[in-house]
Structure 1
Amino acid sequence: MNRDLPQEPLPYSAILQPGHTLGMMGGGQLGRMFCHAAQSLGYKVVVLEPTEESPAGRVAEYEVVSAYDDMKGLDTLLSYTQAVTTEFENVPAASLKYLSSQIRISPSAAVVAVVQDRIAEKTFIASQGIPVAPYAEIRTIEDLEKADNTLFPAILKAARLGYDGKGQARVKSVAEAVEAFKSFGEVPCVLEAMLPLKKEVSVVMARGFDGKIALFPIGVNTHINGILSSSVVGVEEIDPTIEKAAQEAAIKIALGLNYFGVMCVEFFILEDNRLVANEIAPRPHNSGHYTMNACLSSQFEQQVRVLAGMPLGSTDLLAPTIMLNILGDSWFAHGGEQAIEPDWASVLALPGVNLHLYGKAEARKGRKMGHINIVNKDPQQLIYYARQVSDILHLNAKI
């Protein structure tokens, strides 16, 4: 262990040199890829995660197996590091606030308190003058019964702990919304109008403690069953005016939150070309995984740079790319109940294909197991090989 408790948080201007240990709250695939990026820059990583043998815990130098709100676990984490980041937004804000009294934290507890609650998140985005889908706050069945009929058809979303389509239900009427609300346990929700959607895009960016900002190229996203299926970058033309508006809105959100770190903002482009903000992710994002092979610096390297106080890296796109998510369904594509390893050799035989598996012990349907980045300077060749990958792995990607 590196030090005795307590100590003062690092000044924003302080730089942690390679060799120091950086902290990660969360042991999933985003934490794992952070570990790899940190280690490539010469840092060590300590991971705090409730379960043993997590994807990140397996590759980190140190692992603290603890609940996120367990004081003993938090103090153990503090004994290893002077700077901690997170891989998901549902880390308790109170835990981050406690850590921030002694070490550098990114993102801050105040930021996490906003983005881990859809009601607070939408209220904040709207307060910045950025359009959001029409919505109503739902805390009781009576709130649903009083909801404006123009919101239907709608999506009912649990305000907290929802991801990858979980805690969401499409509803056509008040009656359907009430049933969905009951199935969620009558927890606070957002009832959000479904809009005529042309496409979804995401802006992934990094903001350093020096205030400098680096924007990655915008990705065009496609979902299947509420889970991101693909992100396409550098292939599909995006109206420059819309692209600029999305980037400016993302920056405005970051500044409004006083955000430091890597952040993604998802936007809807409507049929009439209006831009609507959907969600904020205070961390690297699935739609930014393409940066691992297609950009000079990945989103995970940027996360390391920010946390360590280092200058941000270049976000230049080296070539057009398509990111494809790999779910556990690929292990069961033959129709049986026994998991069978996909044909990785055929995938890797294709030019420009980069495989990233997350080290999860068990494949399950709907579970994110990895992703593939296909990079090619010829957009038509890129699409051709991406479709081949999709066919081999039975991804059913809409490319």
Structure 2
Amino acid sequence: MTGASQVNPCFLPGSTLGLLGGGQLGRMFAFAARRMGYQVHVWEPLENSPAGQVCDKQYSLPYEERDCVKEFARYTDLVTFEFENIPSETLTALAIERPVRPSAEVLRICQNREREKNFLLSQGYPLPAYRIVNSAASLRTAVSELGMPCILKTVDCGYDGKGQVKINEEQNLEAIWAAFHAERGVVEAWVNFYKEISIICARSPNGSLSAYPISENVQTNHILDYSIIPARLDRQIQLEVEMLARDITEALGVVGLLAIEFFLTHDGRLLVNELAPRPHNSGHFTVDACITSQFEQQLRAICNLPLGSTRLLSPVVMVNLLGEAWDKQLPDWNLILSEPIAALHLYGKSPPRPGRKMGHYCILGNTIEESLDKALALKSAIYGGT
């Protein structure tokens, strides 16, 4: 069901959206889509996925199953995705049948650290120094040029600290490469940052852009622990982040969402860390604290509808709930549910495992300080004082 011009048609409520990926991001996208009158079909190899639980139909086949492409496309009007670990060839094949947003080329760049960093470097954006390595010898050269400590990362399929090795003075580089089990890697210079921040930018087919408030992120064991919004930054830094986000989104040609993670150094420099062409963990606060959530904004952008307001309604802190909270028993959700300024979100995942994102909660206070104090007190209570 479309409107507007055939060049950039609008996909109106009543359309069926195809979603690749069945995790929590897809689940929350499906909530937003169904609330606005869309149907959602998800392609996710694992049965009973978080998104599949709430979608109209799930295709439980490998993404490489080319016979599924035409079947999936036949019953959908428009296709999008909720994470990067999808073969770009599958998106390219789908794009022959249906519009795919963001494009397969955007996915191809952002799902591979080498291509992503080369893109950013070619466009002149600031990022940490890096080298591409493909052997123990090239790793030794890279470490010599970048210094130690530094970080060796896989070029593909890395998130939440997976596929990363910190290299220190005393380590054996030949042994590190032998245990790396990848043909290529990226070695990044160590950044002694002041803060990690992120911003989510939306772009529609007609080039309209809109950015969310900046999130200040705190990580524990390479996994996002909690986010503080608005980020506590000087106004000049805020303006620079927003300008870079809009420029990168435009240069990449994204239609949909682009999350950009930055390091802010102690001397005030911004360095691009990673790109994600989809909703982002650090943007979960938007569901409770913004007029338009990131998931509704993704829907609006890919469907060529007017972008919604990103205005922040309240200072907010978002805290991830990891599998560790289930260590001994089911967490006492009354701790959160009895708090008037809290909102709880659970993802329908099973079983809980250490490091697995099972849900999150948001605290919406009158001030950042109130939100942060309450969020951390609840976190301590939920995890048993850890």
TM-score, with normalisation over the residues of structure 1? 0.92
Matches within 5 A, 1:96-135: 96-135=91-130
TM-superposed deviation, 1:351: 2.1
TM-superposed deviation, 1:174: 8.4
Distance of 2:78 and 2:225 partners within structure 1: 33
Determine if contact 1:24/1:84 at 8 Å carries over to the other structure: yes
Equivalent position of 2:228 in the other structure: 232
1:162 aligns with 2:167: no
Determine if contact 2:228/2:372 at 8 Å carries over to the other structure: no
Determine if contact 1:22/1:82 at 8 Å carries over to the other structure: yes
Equivalent position of 1:6 in the other structure: none
TM-superposed deviation, 1:48: 0.3
Determine if contact 2:224/2:320 at 8 Å carries over to the other structure: yes
| Alignment deviations for residues 347-395 of structure 1 (CA, whole Å, 9 cap, x no partner) | 2111211111000121111111011111112333212211221112228
1:207 aligns with 2:203: yes
**Pairing partner for 1:306 from 301, 310, 322:** 301
Aligned-partner SS, 2:153: strand
**Pairing partner for 2:269 from 254, 268, 274:** 274
Number of aligned residue pairs: 382
1:196 aligns with 2:192: yes
1:342 aligns with 2:331: yes
Equivalent position of 2:366 in the other structure: 377
| Alignment deviations for residues 27-75 of structure 1 (CA, whole Å, 9 cap, x no partner) | 1111111100100111010000111111111110111111112112222
Equivalent position of 1:138 in the other structure: 133
Equivalent position of 1:288 in the other structure: 283
For 1:386, the aligned partner's letter is: A
Equivalent position of 1:35 in the other structure: 30
Distance of 1:194 and 1:44 partners within structure 2: 45
**Pairing partner for 2:57 from 53, 57, 62:** 62
TM-superposed deviation, 1:175: 4.3
Aligned-partner SS, 2:9: coil
Identity over aligned residues, as a percent? Answer: 39
Aligned-partner SS, 2:53: helix
Equivalent position of 1:83 in the other structure: 78
Equivalent position of 1:387 in the other structure: 376
Q: Which runs of 5+ in 2 are unaligned?
A: none
Equivalent position of 1:264 in the other structure: 259
Determine if contact 1:203/1:264 at 8 Å carries over to the other structure: yes
TM-superposed deviation, 1:346: 1.6
**Pairing partner for 1:92 from 87, 90, 101:** 87
TM-superposed deviation, 1:396: 7.5
Equivalent position of 2:219 in the other structure: 223
Q: Please tell me the root mean square deviation across aligned C-alpha atoms, in Å.
A: 1.7
For 2:10, the aligned partner's letter is: I
Aligned-partner SS, 1:121: helix
Distance of 2:367 and 2:68 partners within structure 1: 50
For 1:91, the aligned partner's letter is: I
Determine if contact 2:102/2:277 at 8 Å carries over to the other structure: yes
Determine if contact 1:156/1:191 at 8 Å carries over to the other structure: yes
Equivalent position of 1:185 in the other structure: 181
Distance of 1:13 and 1:186 partners within structure 2: 41
| Alignment deviations for residues 243-296 of structure 1 (CA, whole Å, 9 cap, x no partner) | 111121121211111111011000000011111000000100000011010100
For 1:100, the aligned partner's letter is: A
Aligned-partner SS, 1:110: helix
Distance of 2:198 and 2:46 partners within structure 1: 31
TM-superposed deviation, 1:177: 4.2
Distance of 1:372 and 1:42 partners within structure 2: 26
Distance of 2:74 and 2:360 partners within structure 1: 34
Q: Which runs of 5+ in 1 are unaligned?
A: 3-9, 335-339
For 2:63, the aligned partner's letter is: Y
